[in-house]
Structure 1
């Protein structure tokens, strides 16, 4: 047996054990890493506001705290308005449920010539085994829901804590990162950091402005139709449609349509038409002008990045995909050498004359040859007469 074989086997086993340990640790820490990623992008988003307040003489920690207090207050107000809206709608539906049930029973009796009674249906429903099993399962599911709510609150606090430290200690974090790199690499890292701050902050601020415009437009429609809780519904449409890419528009429009349907079914149709028309206006008129200087990526690239981010990280990937791709595009654009484009008509989508499939070009060449006049015959010089 060669001397190196036992040592190689031990080294291979050690590498395999390290790989398994690293894989296990990565899977265990996936949730924490995703929270840190969200916190980092949130810190990049508030970096311009914090830096502006710090340049005016305010301590960076205090400026970060004020910015986060404003964000938390806005989020709490939105949740409170949405909760009051849902609670009011649920109370109204419970109060009007007997009337709905009577109307449905009367329609069934008239249509199918039956003799159903609401009292008999209520008694059969209350004493049914299905309802008892459902109540038992709901009682056990309350603990699961409570655990999920507590886990979500802990996750939110973790994100806020990390993002606060990233934003408050941003200069110190950059110095610590640059201290382990050579001077040439430090300039590139700082440039990438600055681009990430500009793109992420610009993306979120432009989305916030579009959310405000969308909320105002939908509030005007809902208030004109007389739909209840129009301000809360407008805030819901504005935030969900802008900060949940791809599917946010449909989720945002579903709730106002449902509430409008309880008032009048035709109102739900009007809301649907308005949502579709406004979405087209936003995609082709509003969004290109607002995001041209902040994100500036092609719509197809943005859509593809959202799909890739969703496949990799779920909803978190969908949120951070567009600013991440915009940052990468801007960073690479600073180092990619570009040349002047030729004036060839094919650049503008025009085909050259004579271009086409080979059979077409061959047919054109044959037609050109057949239509051309025959070439003149060359006269051969006669040999001179020779005297014999």
Structure 2
């Protein structure tokens, strides 16, 4: 085969290869790679902003809680900014007072327990020696627990980690408070801005849904706060009569936790004062449990129906399911806001969708006449 023939065959093969690749394929590959890169960057950014999104959600929820109180102060003649500052200051004072009481209680209890640890440890060692006929000494256990220098270094590392966590928590609280204030102070403007994005025919329904959300969220929190106040006063008085230490702090703990921690809040609230009472006298712990149980019955059958009759009406099974779903999605934040969110959704659906009479008389008449709804 001659050289010109080889050249013609090579050019023919390259031409066939060029003809075999569609002209749009390189562009499609480039677009596919670009879309993949955009998707990966978007997913990465979303993961990085999850924490910030949760803080915005908490801020918006707090703004919805404070909005009814601010509106009432506005109706009494105050301007928006002073009304927001007053409600915001009261909210911060309530949260700060509860936090301070709990921190004081925990620090005092931790100090007391740490002072009793050596005595408890000696008692435990004596019991082990008597029961199992051993000859264990406290000094031997302490020597075998490791190098003191290593323990000190580990304690320093833990202290640094705790300090970093505390600083991060303070920054998150400040961020939530800042956005909650701006969402509340600029509430009407935020509302108009969001609703203006909708078509005109949808704006009336959006206004109605927004009003329902504010009423349900504010009603839920205010009714729970009122029940928490009643519970805190009653339990504080009972703990003071029983001689339980830190009666006021424990009473506030029971009031807040029992009302704002869904489903299991009642049991968690009673656990802490029961443990504290047991350190004084076992019978005090029994009386604490008895009083908490009796008060819960009074709250369920007397107080709660009157306080929450016009606020949040959610079936217990729906409330429990919503709490589980909210906790699975957003953790503790989702569990707290799940019930008012479901109540709001339920109210919006009830107000927007038509309802038909399903009484036995109507359904039997419809079946006899052949009418179909």
Q: TM-score, normalised by structure 2?
A: 0.83
Give me the CA root mean square deviation: 2.7
Aligned to 1:38: 58
Work out whether 1:265 is the aligned partner of 2:291: no
Q: Distance in 2 between matches of 1:103 and 1:145?
A: 32
Aligned to 1:247: 264
Q: Distance in 2 between matches of 1:253 and 1:130?
A: 40
CA drift at 1:86: 2.7
Question: Structure 1 pair 303/283, CA: closer, same or farther in 2 (3 Å)?
Answer: farther
CA drift at 1:307: 0.4
Question: Structure 1 pair 189/96, CA: closer, same or farther in 2 (3 Å)?
Answer: same
Work out whether 1:139 is the aligned partner of 2:156: yes
Aligned to 1:87: 107
Q: Distance in 2 between matches of 1:238 and 1:152?
A: 24
Q: Distance in 2 between matches of 1:279 and 1:128?
A: 46
Q: Distance in 1 between matches of 2:170 and 2:143?
A: 36
CA drift at 1:144: 0.9
Aligned to 1:73: 93
Q: Distance in 1 between matches of 2:161 and 2:50?
A: 22
After superposition, give the CA deviation of every residue in 1:93-147 in whole Å (9 maximum; x if it has no partner): 344455545655665566566676xxx5257526741665443222111111111
Contact kept? 1:125, 1:131, Cα under 8 Å: no
Superposed, 1:345-360 pairs within 5 Å as none
Aligned to 1:177: 194
| Higher share of residues assigned helix | 2
Contact kept? 2:122, 2:138, Cα under 8 Å: no
After superposition, give the CA deviation of every residue in 1:318-348 in whole Å (9 maximum; x if it has no partner): 011111111111111112111112326999x
Aligned to 2:5: none
Q: Distance in 1 between matches of 2:35 and 2:304?
A: 51
Question: Structure 1 pair 147/91, CA: closer, same or farther in 2 (3 Å)?
Answer: closer
Aligned to 1:339: 356
CA drift at 1:32: 0.5
CA drift at 1:24: 1.2
Question: Structure 1 pair 156/55, CA: closer, same or farther in 2 (3 Å)?
Answer: same
The total of aligned residue pairs comes to 344
Question: Structure 1 pair 44/87, CA: closer, same or farther in 2 (3 Å)?
Answer: same
Aligned partner (choices 229, 241, 252) of residue 224 of structure 1: 241
Q: Distance in 1 between matches of 2:139 and 2:293?
A: 41
Work out whether 1:149 is the aligned partner of 2:166: yes
Superposed, 1:90-239 pairs within 5 Å as 90-97=110-117, 99-100=119-120, 104=124, 121-122=138-139, 124-125=141-142, 128-129=145-146, 132-239=149-256
After superposition, give the CA deviation of every residue in 1:123-174 in whole Å (9 maximum; x if it has no partner): 7526741665443222111111111101101000110011101000011112
Q: Distance in 1 between matches of 2:362 and 2:122?
A: 72
Superposed, 1:50-61 pairs within 5 Å as 50-61=70-81
Q: Distance in 1 between matches of 2:294 and 2:355?
A: 39
Q: Distance in 1 between matches of 2:299 and 2:361?
A: 35
Aligned partner (choices 311, 314, 321) of residue 331 of structure 2: 314
Runs of 5+ unmatched residues, structure 2: 1-20, 365-373
CA drift at 1:285: 4.7
Q: Distance in 1 between matches of 2:261 and 2:200?
A: 40
Q: Distance in 2 between matches of 1:164 and 1:188?
A: 26
Aligned to 1:353: none
Contact kept? 2:69, 2:87, Cα under 8 Å: yes
Contact kept? 1:199, 1:323, Cα under 8 Å: yes
Q: TM-score, normalised by structure 1?
A: 0.80
Question: Structure 1 pair 341/86, CA: closer, same or farther in 2 (3 Å)?
Answer: same
